[in-house]
Amino acid sequence: MDIKDAIRTIPDHPKPGIMFRDVTTLLADAGAFRRTVDALVAPLAGAKIDKVAGIEARGFILGGAVAHQLSVGFLPVRKKGKLPFTTLAEDYELEYGTDTIEIHVDAAQPGEKVLIVDDLVATGGTAEAAVKLLRRAGADVVGCAFVVDLRDLGGAERLRALGVQVTALVEFAGH
């Protein structure tokens, strides 16, 4: 089974016309999960990375596994109000309104090379906010790695426009 085949598609979720790409089926399949983590790590051979930043919530699972494979630290990028210490925050646009993500002020040190990991890039708003947040903390964002790119929504291109290298293991058309 390839990685794409391990991802369940749920039509009309969370609203009519949306094809939700559910990676929980991939995470539940030990072989597919292992292949996914290995494939996320493979392009990084020889790269200098100090930390992996995982975007809440599936990015925690994947990012934690990638950090483990790379033998580097992990830093969570969380929704507003979830972190217990002093934070840096970044607002970003949603389809209807705004949201905020945060990191601890000491999560990334100036000059640290950080890889951002999440399950999926759609419009790229959350990942773009993570890039801006980590850069404000002084980190050097070396790239963003995703399992899925919903290419028609343009998120990967939005990140590349910020000068960030983007990798995705599989693509799905539409959304």
CB distance 52 to 36 below 8 Å: no
Residue 125 located in a structural domain? yes
CATH code at position 122: 3.40.50.2020
pLDDT given for residue 94 in this prediction: 78
Residue 20 located in a structural domain? no
Element (H, E) at 100: strand 97-104
Query: For the chain, which residues score pLDDT lower than 70?
Result: 1, 95, 175
Count of structural domains within the chain? 1
pLDDT given for residue 31 in this prediction: 96
Please identify every residue annotated as catalytic. Answer: 58, 95
pLDDT given for residue 96 in this prediction: 74
pTM: 0.96
pLDDT given for residue 173 in this prediction: 87
Cα gap 175→170, rounded to integer Å: 14
**Domain ranges, residue 81:** 47-172
Q: Compute and round to an integer the Cα radius of gyration of the chain.
A: 15
